[in-house]
Structure 1
Amino acid sequence: MEPEVVVEIMSNALFLVIKLVAAIIIPSLTVGLVVAVFQAATSINEQTLSFLPRLIVTLLALIFGGHWLTQELVDFFKTLIMNLPEVMG
């Protein structure tokens, strides 16, 4: 097995992980920032006020993006399995 092939597989895997995590985390971070600005503007220092909206948005991102997330993983593994003879040979 050539080192370049392993590096390419790992590079694709890391890019996939970053893409999938970003699809879940970025909406949560955006809502957290909006809530933090609201808390700063109104001087409300309640910790649970920022937690609940972020939790709801994260769950909604998983619900609505779950199919896409799963499809991306399946496509990656299909490509990996299809290229297995090339990697081993």
Structure 2
Amino acid sequence: MTEAELIDVAREAVVVTLVVSAPSLLTALAVGLLISIFQTLTQIQEQTLTFVPKLMLVFASLVLFLPFILGQLTEFWKHTMDRVISGGG
């Protein structure tokens, strides 16, 4: 593989990493925002209140999006191995 092909594979790896991590990160962001709004409205400032719901919903999103995540990773792996075996392109 040439240097340009390696850079292209690295770029694809970064994109796949962002796409695969997006569901759990967006879930954590949304849950954190909703709990922060709830805490602001009720003036409850308990730090542990955010931990359990966020943990449970992020885990649930991982379970829900697992087929998508595995599909993306498998497709990236196949594409990368095809490039290595065929010698590029």
Same fold (TM over 0.5): yes
Matched AA of 1:41: L
Secondary structure in 2 aligned to 1:83? helix
- Paired position in structure 2 for 1:41: 41
Specify every segment of 5 or more residues in structure 2 that has no aligned partner in the other structure, as ranges.
Answer: none
User: Aligned residue for 2:24?
Assistant: 24
> RMSD across aligned C-alpha pairs, in angstroms?
1.0
Long gaps (5+) in structure 1: none
Query: What does 1:1-80 align with in structure 2 at a 5 Å threshold?
Result: 1-80=1-80
Which consecutive aligned stretches of 4+ in structure 1 deviate over 3 angstroms post-superposition?
Answer: none
Identical amino acids, percent of aligned pairs: 25
Deviation for aligned residue 1:73: 0.5
- TM-score computed with the length of structure 2 as normaliser: 0.91
TM-score between both structures, scaled by the size of structure 1:
0.91
